[in-house]
């Protein structure tokens, strides 16, 4: 079955530290991949996407993600986290039929 897995439910990092949020997918072929961020009481905002081509994708707010076909992963990274990055992060994927599958989300807490 097609699925997206985010292994970490909650991550805490110190402000200024680096961040990596993990995402794995299970599809018969390489899906289209996305990272969204959701601040409390808000909708989802797209951070970045991967459709094809360069496996290192740059997004907004200083985020980047790397697609690794061999590991079926699409991990999100940021070199230096800011307090305003505290939010919930969702990895998502779909293949052909617009049926977007979301991971369960990773809640990021930033310590001062």
Query: Which residues lie near another protein (CB under 8 A)?
Result: 32, 34, 36, 41-46, 49, 51, 90, 94, 97-105
Asked if residues 78 and 63 have their Cβ atoms less than 8 Å apart, the reply is yes
- Which residue lies nearer to another protein by CB, 32 or 72? 32
**Cβ 22 to another protein, closest distance in Å?**
16
Q: Give least dist CB 76 to another protein, A.
A: 16
111 closest CA partner among 10, 13, 11, 16: 13
Which of residues 46 and 56 has its CB atom nearest to another protein in the complex?
A: 46
**Shortest distance in whole angstroms from residue 104 CB to another protein:** 5
* Maximum Cα interatomic distance, the chain, rounded to a whole number of Å: 43
7: left (phi over 0), alpha (psi -120 to 50) or beta: alpha
The region, left, alpha or beta by phi > 0 then psi within -120 to 50, assigned to residue 71 is alpha
């Amino acid at each position: 079955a097609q699925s997206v897995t985010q292994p970490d439910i909650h991550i805490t990092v110190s402000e200024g530290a680096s961040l990596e949020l993990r995402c794995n997918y299970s599809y018969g072929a390489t899906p289209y991949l996305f990272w969204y961020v959701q601040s409390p009481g808000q909708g989802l905002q797209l951070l970045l996407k991967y459709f094809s081509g360069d496996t290192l994708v740059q997004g907004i707010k200083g985020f980047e993600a790397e697609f690794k076909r061999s590991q079926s992963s699409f991990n999100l990274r940021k070199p230096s986290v800011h307090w305003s990055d505290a939010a919930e992060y969702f990895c998502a994927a779909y293949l052909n039929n617009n049926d977007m599958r979301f991971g369960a989300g990773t809640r990021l807490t930033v310590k001062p």
